[in-house]
Amino acid sequence: MNTPAHPHPHTQPHTWFITGSSRGFGRNLAIAALEAGDNVVATARRPEQLEDLVRRYGDRVLPVPLDVTDRSAAVAGLRAAVDRFGRVDVVVNNAGYANASAIETTPEDDFRRQFDTNFWGVYNVSTEAIPVLRAQGGGTIVQFSSIGGRVGGTPGLGSYQAAKFAVDGFTRVLAAETAPFGITCLVVEPGGFATDWAGASMRIPDVPPEYDATVGRMVRLFGDAAAQGDPKRAGEILVRVVKHPTPPSHLIIGAGAVRMAQAYSRGQLEEAAAWEAVSRSADFDQPPVDLPAPTPEAVPRP
């Protein structure tokens, strides 16, 4: 694709390419970017769900059909974005979903389908976006993960959290490889937000009795918990963060997510310190050591 250079990257409107724009974070981010005066290529598997955005914001919105598991659709979507707006400044991989069930009882095809969207969809869009961003001299790739993609361990979300961990590892390497091209990568890690993530879009089969204390308990929390995060405000924050001269590599959003991240990091440091001598003793020049004495309580985890 031919991508003309942007004459004044700091004064011209940004062009955003956002997957999963029909609802949740994607929709709120699209609106926040449009309210900031930017252009948005809003993608969805059913682009008719985006017609109200076109009515409201006119030709600054380009609705594009996109199933992120279809690599050819990602190519076509990015080409349409460049054809309409001349360049793409921000690529946002937001599309994703989770079903809740124990790893043991999740059908393999369901586990794989979730991973196809939550990881391979990110891979498809990111790798097709790189040549576009490189040719125009830079841009930003935003990957929506979750706080679970940092701390993990949520019963019932094996495929979803495995994919989010994979997205983080993938993006760390991507950031290192593409930094010389002027490409910035940002991983977003939300906590509990008032979106449909745990609503109609989540399939929850019957939980076997042996998993009631773990998966069953978590499923009940999904239904009872009142999400504290405001997706509208999160979208507005993210538009500002992306335009910051030195954005973070990872952005935690939501007070609960901050608490979880900090507790997890403290636990990691405490565990590494407790087992440091054992870890070091694996080297040729180190003497063998005894294992630490058992502790009455496990290392604190979120």
Pick the CATH number of 15-253 from 3.40.50.740, 3.40.190.10, 3.40.50.620, 3.40.50.720: 3.40.50.720
Domain boundaries, the chain: 15-253
Say whether pTM exceeds 0.85: yes
Average pLDDT rounded to a whole number, residues 75-103:
96
pLDDT at 228: 78
Which residues are tagged catalytic?
145, 160, 164
Q: If pLDDT is split at 50, 70 and 90, which confidence band does 19 have?
A: very high
How does pLDDT run across 216-269, given as a tens digit for each residue?
A: 988 888 765 556 788 899 999 999 999 999 999 999 999 999 999 999 999 999
| C-alpha distances in Å from residue 5, one per residue of 89, 119, 135 | 11, 31, 8
pLDDT at 203: 83
DSSP character for 209?
G
Q: Which pair of tokens denotes residue 231?
A: 């997706």
Q: What is the mean pLDDT of the chain?
A: 90
% of the chain exceeding 70 in pLDDT = 90
Average pLDDT rounded to a whole number, residues 74-81:
97
pLDDT at 8: 40
| C-alpha distances in Å from residue 252, one per residue of 52, 124, 146, 266, 297 | 30, 24, 8, 16, 28
| C-alpha distances in Å from residue 157, one per residue of 40, 92, 102, 108 | 31, 23, 7, 14
How does pLDDT run across 143-195, given as a tens digit for each residue?
A: 999 999 999 999 999 999 999 999 999 999 999 999 999 999 999 999 887 66
